[in-house]
């Protein structure tokens, strides 16, 4: 089961996701990136049905880009979150997307923010959020150690504690995680935490 | 588990002497897990009209957005705010529209009508209105709330006493319900002012 979690620090927000693509008992790949970069200052970490996840996050990404093309300015994080909720809510009673989303962004005027959007389109702005079986461990670790206005180093320390807990205590724990950060300089990949590397592609000697 | 018990909620509205109070808990949960302890369930439509939405959070948010839309249009056309009785009929109609695929919400509506007479009502998820002169309740803690309100309520309470009564009724009821709690949110509305207070109760 996929784990996604995120938290807000001082002038930045972090989203962490596991990177295993699983079908039944088979692990297809261990380096699947589940955190979509929506635009220069937004991250969307998603967990759930694989096809829905890939399709829906790409759909949101393209619509966020379209808004910027049409209007010349980017969406705020709150607006992107409410748009995402609206799309999920409209689809809910027709053909629901089974995707849980953690949307993190940085706005010049309001700073960093994090939005929890579950698959039935419940939206809430939070400082820390998590989805999946890993959430039982990540949320408890964050409840214990999270403070407001943490530095990047402190936040990464907390993220590593959460990852350790998930690896130790979850029976089918995902081996690898990707960490992405968004701050005033933009949204980017921060680090990977790997305990299993995919077999390297053999090259001709 | 029932879809009405997925997120957890407790809502109560009470009538006082020329005033009313509407209160809710603050928990947003996903079944057994608590997601947030600052979730808003009472929304202001205008200065003298509040609606609380119990039940499924996503439907509460969708319904609130539709109601604000309808009320803003009404304000543009009629150049005045909606009366609580009218608003209650609007909510009832919106809910019955979805009779065979309903919003999983129970609204609690409270407002000051003509001559600032307090008005409260609640509805089931398909819009059956229940008007009351004293108090209305909704949510997962509704049974406890009925008992607490019935024993604590007195007619024609002044604002401060009404606030005390509704707060005690809410806190004691949510303490018996695992799906609601984590504090309380109370709005006390008189013809001249609106007071919003946050209650600290058992945080569990």
Minimum-distance CB partner of A124 among B33, B39, B62: B39
Taking the Cβ of residue A91 and every Cβ of chain B, the question of whether any pair is shorter than 8 Å is answered with no
DSSP state of A157: H
| Span A30-53, pLDDT tens digits | 999 999 999 999 999 999 999 999
- At A9 the three-state DSSP class reads coil
| Span B121-134, pLDDT tens digits | 999 999 999 999 99
Q: Is residue A81 part of a domain?
A: yes
DSSP state of B127: -
Chain-chain contact of A124 with B62 (C-beta, under 8 angstroms): no
Q: What is the pLDDT of residue B61?
A: 97
Minimum-distance CB partner of B58 among A92, A135, A139: A92
What's the gap in Å between the CA of B159 and the closest CA on chain A?
A: 32
Q: What is the pLDDT of residue B92?
A: 98
Chain-chain contact of B36 with A126 (C-beta, under 8 angstroms): yes
Place of tokens 């969406």: A75
- Please give the domain boundaries of chain B with CATH numbers for all domains: 3-199 (3.60.20.10)
Q: Is residue A200 part of a domain?
A: no
- Determine how β-strand B184-189 pairs with β-strand B135-139: unpaired
Tell me how many residue pairs between chain A and chain B have CB atoms under 8 A apart.
34
Taking the Cβ of residue A121 and every Cβ of chain B, the question of whether any pair is shorter than 8 Å is answered with yes
CA atoms in the 13 A half-sphere facing the CB of A2: 30
Q: Is residue A74 part of a domain?
A: yes
Residue in chain A lying closest to B55 (CA): A122
pTM assigned to the model: 0.94
DSSP state of B133: S
Q: Is residue A202 part of a domain?
A: no
What's the gap in Å between the CA of B54 and the closest CA on chain A?
A: 13
What CA–CA distances, in Å, run from A202 to A195, A199, B29?
20, 9, 49
Nearest to B164 by CA among B6, B9, B14, B11: B14
CATH number at residue A82: 3.60.20.10
| Span B69-116, pLDDT tens digits | 999 999 999 999 999 999 999 999 999 999 999 999 999 999 999 999
| Span A97-127, pLDDT tens digits | 999 999 999 999 999 999 999 999 999 999 9
Q: Which residues of B touch A126 (CB under 8 A)?
A: 35-36
Q: Is residue A135 part of a domain?
A: yes
Residue in chain B lying closest to A120 (CA): B58
Cα separation, A72 vs A49, in Å, equals 34
Q: Which residues of A touch B35 (CB under 8 A)?
A: 116, 124, 126, 129
Domain count for chain A, please give it. Answer: 1
Q: How far is CA A63 from the centre of its chain?
A: 18
What element of type H or E holds A29? strand A26-29
Output Rg (C-alpha) for chain B, integer angstroms: 16
Nearest to A77 by CA among A122, A38, A35, A129: A38
Cα separation, A59 vs A68, in Å, equals 14
Q: Which residues of A touch B28 (CB under 8 A)?
A: 122, 124
At A38, list the tokens: 């929506």
Cα separation, B192 vs A33, in Å, equals 55
Q: Is residue A201 part of a domain?
A: no
Cα separation, A200 vs A161, in Å, equals 29
A180, A35 Cβ separation under 8 angstroms: yes
B11, B179 Cβ separation under 8 angstroms: no
Assign A196 a pLDDT band (cuts: 50, 70, 90).
confident
Q: Is residue A189 part of a domain?
A: yes
Q: What is the pLDDT of residue B1?
A: 82
**Mutation target vs B (from A122, A124, A125, A135; most B CBs, 10 A cutoff):** A122
Q: Is residue A205 part of a domain?
A: no
Chain-chain contact of B61 with A120 (C-beta, under 8 angstroms): no
Q: Please, where are the H alpha helices in chain B?
A: 57-78, 84-97, 142-152, 159-174
Which chain B residues touch A if contact means CB-CB below 8 Å?
Answer: 7, 28, 30, 33, 35-36, 39, 56-58, 61-62, 101
Q: Which residues of A touch B33 (CB under 8 A)?
A: 135-136, 139
Which residue range is the domain that position A109 belongs to? 3-193
| Span B72-81, pLDDT tens digits | 999 999 999 9
Chain-chain contact of A124 with B28 (C-beta, under 8 angstroms): yes
Chain-chain contact of B30 with A126 (C-beta, under 8 angstroms): no
Q: What is the pLDDT of residue A200?
A: 66
């Amino acid at each position: 089961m996929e784990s996604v979690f995120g938290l807000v620090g001082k002038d930045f927000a972090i989203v962490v996701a596991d990177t295993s693509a699983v079908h039944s008992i088979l692990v297809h790949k261990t380096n699947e990136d589940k955190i979509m970069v929506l635009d220069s200052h937004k991250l969307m970490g998603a967990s759930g049905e694989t096809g829905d996840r890939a399709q829906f996050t790409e759909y949101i990404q393209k619509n966020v880009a379209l808004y910027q093309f049409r209007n010349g300015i980017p969406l705020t994080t709150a607006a992107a979150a409410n748009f995402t909720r609206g799309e999920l809510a409209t689809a809910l009673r027709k053909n629901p997307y089974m995707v849980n989303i953690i949307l993190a962004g940085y706005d010049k005027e309001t700073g960093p923010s994090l939005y929890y959007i579950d698959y039935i389109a419940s939206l809430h702005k939070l400082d820390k959020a998590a989805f999946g079986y890993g959430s039982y461990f990540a949320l408890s670790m964050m409840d214990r150690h999270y403070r407001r206005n943490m530095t990047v180093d402190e936040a990464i320390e907390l993220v590593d504690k959460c990852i350790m807990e998930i690896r130790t205590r979850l029976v089918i724990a995902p081996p690898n995680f990707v960490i992405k950060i968004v701050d005033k300089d933009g949204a980017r990949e921060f680090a990977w935490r790997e305990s299993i590397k995919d077999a390297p592609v053999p090259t001709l000697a | 588990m029932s879809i009405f018990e997925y997120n957890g909620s407790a809502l109560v509205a009470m009538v006082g002497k020329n005033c009313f109070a509407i209160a809710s808990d603050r928990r947003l949960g996903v079944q057994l897990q608590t997601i947030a302890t600052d979730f808003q369930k009472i929304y202001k439509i205008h200065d003298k009209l509040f609606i609380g939405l119990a039940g499924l959070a996503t439907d509460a948010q969708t319904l609130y957005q539709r109601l604000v839309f309808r009320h803003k249009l009404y304000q543009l056309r009629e150049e005045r705010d909606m009366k609580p009785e009218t608003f209650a009929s609007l909510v009832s109609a919106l809910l019955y529209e979805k009779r065979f695929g309903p919003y999983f919400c129970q609204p609690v509506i409270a407002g000051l009508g003509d001559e600032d007479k307090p008005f409260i009502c609640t509805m089931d998820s398909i819009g059956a209105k229940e008007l009351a002169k004293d108090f209305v309740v909704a949510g997962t803690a509704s049974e406890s709330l009925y008992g607490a309100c019935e024993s604590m309520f007195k007619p024609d309470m002044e604002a401060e006493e009404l606030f005390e009564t509704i707060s005690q009724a809410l806190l004691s009821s949510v303490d018996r319900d695992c799906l609601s709690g984590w504090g309380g949110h109370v709005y006390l509305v008189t013809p001249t002012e609106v007071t919003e207070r946050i209650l600290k109760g058992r945080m569990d």
